[in-house]
Amino acid sequence: MTQMATIDSVMRTLADPTRRAVFERIVSSDEITVAELTRGSGVTQGAISQHLKSLKLAGLVAERPEGRKVFYRAEPEGLAPLVDWMSHYGVFWRERFANLRTLLKEIDP
Amino acid sequence: MTQMATIDSVMRTLADPTRRAVFERIVSSDEITVAELTRGSGVTQGAISQHLKSLKLAGLVAERPEGRKVFYRAEPEGLAPLVDWMSHYGVFWRERFANLRTLLKEIDP
DNA sequence: CAGATACTTAGGCATCTGCCTAAGTATCTG
DNA sequence: CAGATACTTAGGCAGATGCCTAAGTATCTG
């Protein structure tokens, strides 16, 4: 997805524990294959593949096929909708800064 | 809920669009009744009441009964699990600060 | 007290979702 | 080419979820 995903798709995608665990594992590794993600996940490769499809549609991960393997990596901008949402509805965060993005620029221009 | 909710409950609770809209509306107002939340929500008061129960269990809102009305307000610490999760798995945010909470203290000690 | 108002909760229902098995596609290896 | 490996996708199913109607509880008002 090069198109910006919505807060709705991001939230819904990360709401499932198994899928979120897959995402966390992808983030924690540079690149990782489906087989590796399946190992220790407690579900079948088919299930993992379905979760990866959801994560990809939500713009949270990207794939890189190489031979018969497919490597997945985290899409850095994928959580932007969540960050934006937090900056609006983050309650006690909102009270301190109008926009997290603005803050980020001040720190790391 | 005085007990700290989990990232799981927070994510799952905010995943539903209707329930998230209810939360957003509570955040945007200081205090608000169930009847007001029902108005323009597109669902019945019963449904709103059920969503409020979920939000309360997730630690996202608090209630204050007054007569036959019940006022709801946002629970500022409710999104803490989400903030913590972001600081761990926020990918390009993580690269910039180890912990959003630490950052917060630096800005607003 | 009787009725109205504000809200919660129970029961039921249709839809959604996550998982499994199994089949299908593509690549590598002997 | 035959078989193995890596992955995706289709079909089906059991459980979860969100909503509605309607009943139940509590408070206010005449």
Would you call A27 an interface residue with chain B, using a CB distance cutoff of 8 Å? yes
Containing structural domain, residue B49: 7-107
pLDDT computed for residue A92 by the predictor: 61
Cβ–Cβ below 8 Å for A89 and B23: yes
In angstroms and rounded to an integer, the radius of gyration of the C-alpha atoms of chain A is 16
Residue B2 belongs to some domain of the structure = no
Question: How far B78 CA lies from chain A's nearest CA (Å)?
Answer: 9
Would you call A46 an interface residue with chain B, using a CB distance cutoff of 8 Å? no
Residue B21 belongs to some domain of the structure = yes
Residue A48 belongs to some domain of the structure = yes
The residue count of chain A comes to 109
Domain count of chain A? 1
pLDDT at B109 over 50: no
B79 CA → C19 C1’, Å: 30
Pairing of strands A69-74, B69-74: unpaired
CA B27 to mean position of chain CA atoms: 8
Q: What would the pLDDT profile of B77-102 be if each residue is shown by its tens digit?
A: 899 889 888 878 876 665 544 445 55
Residue A92 belongs to some domain of the structure = yes
Distances (CA, A) of A104 to A44, A107, B68, B92: 40, 5, 46, 11
Give the nucleotide at minimum CA-to-C1' distance from A43.
C19
pLDDT computed for residue B1 by the predictor: 45
Give the nucleotide at minimum CA-to-C1' distance from A66.
C27
Would you call B104 an interface residue with chain A, using a CB distance cutoff of 8 Å? yes
Q: What is the CATH number of the domain that holds A21?
A: 1.10.10.10
Verify if strand C has an atom below 7 Å from the CB of B105.
Answer: no
- Residue A4 backbone phi and psi in degrees, to 5: -65, 125
Distances (CA, A) of B2 to A6, A42, B8, B10, B32: 31, 32, 17, 14, 21
Interface test with B, best of A18, A19, A72, A82 (most B CBs within 10 A): A82
CA atoms within 13 A on the CB side of B22: 32
Q: What would the pLDDT profile of A10-51 be if each residue is shown by its tens digit?
A: 999 999 999 999 999 999 999 999 999 999 999 999 999 999
In contact, B51 and B34? CB cutoff 8 Å:
no
Residue B1 belongs to some domain of the structure = no
What's the token pair of residue B26? 């509570």
Residue A2 belongs to some domain of the structure = no
Angle subtended by helix axes B7-15 and B80-89, to nearest 10: 100
